Structure 1
Amino acid sequence: MPTPRLAVFAVFLFNGALFLSWAARMPALAAQVGATEATLGLALLGASVGLALTAPFAARVCTTVGARKLIIAGVVVTVLAVPSLTLARSPLQLGLILFVLGSCGAALDVGMNVAAVAVTRSLDRPLMPQFHAGFSVGGLVGSLGAAAAANVGWGLTRHLVTVAVIGTLAMAWVIKAVPGVTGETADTPKDDRPVLKRPLLWLLAVITLFSAIAEGATSDWSALFFVNERGLSEAAAAAAYAGFSVAMAAARMFGEPVQRRLGPYRLLASGAVVAATGLALAVLVQEPAFGYVGFAFVGLGLAFAFPVIMDLAGEAGRRADGTGGEREIGLVTTVAYTGFLIGPPMVGGIAHVSNLSFSLGFVAFVIALMVPAVLLARRSRNRELTRLGADSTRP
């Protein structure tokens, strides 16, 4: 029986692996349904809409049934929906199936983060970046698997069915060790601070929004970028995303000393500079090798954005008894999902009137906007601490 820490890490890995398994085969899916860049962007909107609409409902369900049962529901539907992508014959059908996958992703995301919080509190260790590294490792596994499948000539059906079977067996092994925690109870101390009126939380949400737009653009459009703009094969294009995943996973897994030295706000700002520079390099230099390096920089720069923001949001909502932060994390997460909602169709729409290089260049500009938002968030946090007459408990 695996430990709860390993089990939750495995759920993060499962989520990333299945997501990137189909995302890295986007050129084949686009050809299967006869999608243009514009119609493919609209189809990809289905996943983001499912994610955004389901997330609040999933959070309420989690408080009732617990994280483990919510994860089980998400896993069951996901392993059925992923192979169903091969049945799509039009952009509309692809969008509907992606809507189901997005809804499953929301359930998995809420359940695994609630379970991760339970593990970090029980062990009293800041393990959230490592758990999110599991998603990055899963993305690497999924993208490399997609590259291998394309290289040996596997069709979409054979590839995605194999992925679903492997994922089902892995989750069956670990699921009993996942904490079956629920949210607030009747005995939980209440916090009446107005979440929607706190500038700090909105600034943190904006930072996560920009990061989500960048991550969504990278996962959904990188393969097509290398095929259409750099003339690579589908296998080479799928492998290009591996650099992004490796850099992000390594930074999250082994970057704790850097996080301790820089502190959360300087880490977020410097990461945004690295990511924006990397994406600009990928789109401005025609040599494919620079594209690989550039996307690796994007992964490195964005590695800590989501877990660090979740940590800061939770800290902003901490109550006197050491609990709290659920509402704050919920607000930031909801806004982040908006980034996944608007990112893919935005990139597709801009690419339709120009090209993917220009479109991804605009995404680099969006990443750069994280820097002033981080500076304003740090100032807002200092003002809150001054008003409260308290010191921050984190670096």
Structure 2
Amino acid sequence: MSSADRLATRLATRLAFLVAGFGVSCWAPLVPFAKMRLGVDDGVLGLLLLSLGIGSVVAMLVTGIVSARYGSRPIIIAGGFGLALVLPLLAIAASPATLALALFAFGAALGSIDVAMNIHAVEVERAAHRPLMSGFHALFSIGGFAGSALMTALLSLQFGTLACTLICSVLMLVAMVVTSPRLLRSVQVQEGPLFVLPHGSVLLLALLGAITFLVEGAMLDWGALLVIGAGLVTEAQGGAGYIVFSIAMTAGRLGGDAVVARIGDRATLLWGSLIAIAGFVVLLTASVAAVAIGGFLLIGLGASNLVPVLFRRAARQTVMPTGLAVAAITTAGYAGILVGPAGVGFVARFGGLPMAFWLLAALLGLVALTARIVTKDTHSTMTS
């Protein structure tokens, strides 16, 4: 592969991550409009939102199997175009049943591109012989910010929800048109069974992925309530911590490839998790708002490169086909996002929200304790 081809492939991979982050974030500002349009209560809305999660999980499981036979390229193309084409349907679905179907399809497109782009990313990184995964994941974060910001801006300008989604869909379609011909065309066929239950190191990687994604989901859903409940900020200022967390996460991933190239996967997992744990300690013991915000900053920086490293290790294990291993980690991570915040709420109900956050810090300790185990192989041209 020529230098120009390698650059084009990396661009395509970055755009795939950007489209995935952009697409899913476009839906969040539409939720209140969907609830009002259908006239449903919170209980029904919760069931409808579950359709998105079910679609994602089903697609993630299937994608790992399909990619093992046909490669990641066709799945990325189908998932990216699927997000763009289904998004407007979310703005016009006129009944709970049609919205549930649209959300299931949207979730399936999201789940498929999520797994396939990570499989493609590990292949691109392997060909480059240097860390690239953190930079790819940074584009997902940037896409998420851009999508929610653009959708919110358009809605604030009194554009209709359909017009907003059409504008965003056109942008995604353009990005996918640029992406499609530049993706890797080679198919690395995986021999063996089409489905393998996660085991060995993959099971441990999936557990660590679930923990890391759980932390991210908890910061989104519960971070503001924690600092408001502690009397450090007002309700209007509650979101400041998550904003800082998100900026730190994105900045950490933008610089993450250089960090990993210098210190290796093992040190990244160890020190990243320890920095995040230190952030929790700062956040939970802070007596003033500025110090608490510093805790959000440390958590974002520390956690930023944990997931990219876990995906890289999935590509280097030998107990399962790469596609199935990446699918297992992605599915476990998504389960952490879906189920985790509810678990935090359950713990908070009986022991208080601070106790739930101390538990999150303890779970991150498992990442530090197992860093050596999940990075024990050294047979690679990249630093381990």
TM range (shorter): 0.7 to 0.9
Q: Is the 8 A contact 1:41 1:349 kept in 2?
A: no
Secondary structure of 2:188's partner? coil
Q: 1:197 to 1:39 in 2, by over 3 A?
A: same
Q: Which string of whole-angstrom CA distances, capped at 9 and with x for unpartnered residues, describes residues 334-379 of structure 1?
A: 2442342353355357659978x96697366335302224413524
Structure 1: unaligned runs, 5 residues or longer? 318-324
Match of 2:360 in 1: 366
Matches for 1:21-60 after TM superposition, within 5 Å? 21-24=26-29, 26-29=31-34, 40-60=45-65
Cα distance in structure 2, aligned partners of 1:353 and 1:125: 41
User: Structure 2: 5+ residue runs without aligned partners?
Assistant: none
Give the conservation status (yes or no) of the 8 Å contact 2:206–2:333: no
Instruction: Give 3-state SS (helix, strand or coil) of 2:253's partner.
Output: helix
Pair 56,24 (structure 1): closer, same or farther in 2 beyond 3 Å: same
1:175 is matched with 180
Q: Report what 1:204 is aligned to.
A: 205
TM-score normalized by structure 2?
0.77
Cα 1:93–1:352 change in 2 (3 A) is: farther
Which residue matches 1:123? 128
Partner of 2:335: 341
Q: Which residue identity lines up with residue 321 of structure 2 in the other structure?
A: R
- Which range is displaced more, 249-258 or 362-371? 362-371
3-state SS of the aligned residue for 2:185?
A: coil
What SS does the corresponding residue of 1:330 show, helix, strand or coil? helix
1:183 match: secondary structure: coil
Distance 2:353 2:33 in 1: 21
| Deviation of the 1:391 alpha carbon | 7.2
Q: How does 1:50-199 map to 2 (within 5 A)?
A: 50-88=55-93, 94-184=99-189, 196-198=198-200
Match of 1:313 in 2: 314
- How many Å apart are 1:11 and its aligned residue? 1.0
* Corresponding letter in the other structure for 1:118: E
CA distance in 1, matches of 2:95, 2:279: 34
The residue identity in structure 2 corresponding to 1:23 is A
Distance 2:81 2:373 in 1: 44
Change (3 A) 1:264 1:164: same
Give the conservation status (yes or no) of the 8 Å contact 2:68–2:323: no
Deviation at 1:55, TM superposition (A): 1.7
Change (3 A) 1:25 1:240: farther
SS class of match (1:8) = helix
* Deviation for aligned residue 1:103: 1.0
Shift of 1:271: 2.7
Partner of 1:15: 20
Query: For residues 292 and 76 of structure 1, do their structure 2 counterparts lie closer, same or farther at Cα, with a shift above 3 Å needed?
Result: farther
Could you say which residue in structure 2 is the equivalent of 1:256? Answer: 257
2:7 is the alignment partner of 1:5: no
Instruction: Give the drift of 1:14.
Output: 0.8
* 1:330 paired residue number: 324
Paired residues of 1:282 and 1:294 also in contact (CA < 8 A): yes
Q: What is the deviation of 1:35? A: 6.3
Fraction of identical pairs, as percent: 28
Work out the CA distance in 2 between the residues paired with 1:224 and 1:31. Answer: 25
Counterpart-to-counterpart distance in 2, 1:284 and 1:141? 33
Question: By how many angstroms is 1:308 displaced?
Answer: 0.1
Point out the more displaced range, 124-133 or 110-119.
110-119
Pairwise CA distance, 1:264: 2.4
Question: Which position in structure 2 is the counterpart of 1:321?
Answer: none
The structural deviation recorded for 1:164 is 1.0
TM-score (norm 1): 0.75
Which shows bigger deviation, 366-375 or 36-45? Answer: 36-45
**Matched residue of 1:126: which SS?**
coil
Judge conservation of contact 1:144–1:242 (CA < 8 Å) in 2: no
Tell me how far apart the structure 2 counterparts of residues 232 and 36 of structure 1 sit (CA, whole Å): 25
1:136-155 alpha-carbon deviations (Å, 9 max, x no partner): 12112123224433544444
Equivalent AA in structure 2 for residue 51 of structure 1: S
Which SS does the other structure have where 1:299 is aligned? helix
Q: 1:47 is aligned with what amino acid?
A: L
Per-residue CA deviation, residues 173-227 of structure 1 (Å, 9 max, x unaligned), is 23211112323267xxx89xx98552x33222211011122334456x479969x
Q: Quote how far apart the aligned CAs of 1:72 are.
A: 1.9
